[in-house]
Structure 1
Amino acid sequence: MISRRDVVTDSAIAVVAEQGVRGLTHRAVDALAELPVGSTSNVYRTRDALITGIMERIGELNSQQLERLTDTFRADTKPDLEIAVDFCMNWLTTDRNRFYTMIMLSLDPALPDEALTAKQKNMAKFEEFVIRLADVDAEVAHTMNSSVIGMMVTELIAGTADRAHVETFMDQFLTSIPNTANQA
């Protein structure tokens, strides 16, 4: 069963994705979640606390997804390239709100310190995941994450989420990284 905090935070993620960071208010979250006015404020007293809650929730959901992704790679039922493309496409379609909100809040220069910490932890988890999975050093993992996120942001901006484009990018990119060329 999903907690009230998760309902509020998941709704807040959707508000940012639908209305932008400026549209993020306690009332907007209450309305989208179909909760009584004041419900969001009872969970997150301030807007900064709400933003921090969003970044923490995104990190939690991303961690769960990375665990499932690790299991998928270990199961070895699909080629690594297909798994990577599926992951990117999921973020550009099914989990678009989360990805969009993560990017929008990450770009906010006024991100509260606690939210900045949550963002940094989230990015560190991605880099640790890539280090383990691709058997690369931290610098290469950072480059890989930055490149893939850049491609995905480009897809968001274009509004395309074109699987063929994502697949071509990932194929070319993964084969350009020496340690991953054999895995793709």
Structure 2
Amino acid sequence: MISRRDVVTDSAIAVVAEQGVRGLTHRAVDALAELPVGSTSNVYRTRDALITGIMERIGELNSQQLERLPELVRAPGADPIEVAIDFCMNWLTTDRNRFYTMMMLSLDPALPPEAVIAKEKNLRAIKEFIMRFAGIDAEYAQRVNSSVAGMMVGELVAGTADRAHVESYLTEFFQWLRGGRESA
């Protein structure tokens, strides 16, 4: 069963995705979650606490998805590139609100200090996952993450989430990665 905190936070993620950071209010979250007025402020007293809660929830959901990737790649007949394409497409479609909100809040210069800590924790977790999964160092993992995230932001901005484009990009990117690692 999903907790009230998760209902509120997931609704807040959707509010940011639909209305932008400026549209994030306790009342807007209550309305979207179809909760009585004041419910969000009972969970998160301030807007800063709500934003921090969003960043923490995004990190939690991202970690859950990332931890399932190795199992998907090791499944009989699995194609690692196809798994990566599916992962990216999921973030651009099914989990678009979360990805969009993560990007919007990550770029916000007025992010509360606690939310900055949550954002940095999330970015560190992604980089550490890439390091473990791909067996690469931190600098290389940062390049991998920046490159793939950049492609995904491009798709998000274009409003396309074009599977053929994501597939083409990741196929070329993996070829480039293999070539770079072999020559290093």
User: TM-score, normalised to structure 2's length?
Assistant: 0.95
Which residues in structure 2 correspond to 1:22-171 (within 5 Å)?
A: 22-171=22-171
State the number of aligned residues. 182
CA–CA distance in structure 2, aligned partners of residues 37 and 179 of structure 1 = 56
Partner secondary structure for residue 87 of structure 2:
helix
Partner secondary structure for residue 6 of structure 1:
helix
Kindly provide the amino acid, as one letter, of the partner of residue 132 in structure 2: R
Aligned to 2:10: 10
CA–CA distance in structure 1, aligned partners of residues 171 and 136 of structure 2 = 17
Q: CA deviation at 1:181?
A: 7.7
Q: 1:56 to 1:179 in 2, by over 3 A?
A: farther
CA–CA distance in structure 1, aligned partners of residues 25 and 55 of structure 2 = 15
Q: CA deviation at 1:121?
A: 0.8
- Aligned residues of 1:136 and 1:179 also touching (Cα < 8 A): no
Identify unmatched segments of 5+ residues in structure 1. Answer: none
Q: What do the CA deviations read for 1:9-44 (whole angstroms, capped 9, x no partner)? A: 000000000000000000000000000000000000
Partner secondary structure for residue 177 of structure 1:
helix
Q: CA deviation at 1:136?
A: 1.0
Q: 1:4 to 1:136 in 2, by over 3 A?
A: same
CA–CA distance in structure 2, aligned partners of residues 77 and 114 of structure 1 = 43
CA–CA distance in structure 2, aligned partners of residues 102 and 172 of structure 1 = 26
Q: CA RMSD in A?
A: 1.4
CA–CA distance in structure 1, aligned partners of residues 41 and 86 of structure 2 = 37
Moved more, 64-73 or 26-35: 64-73
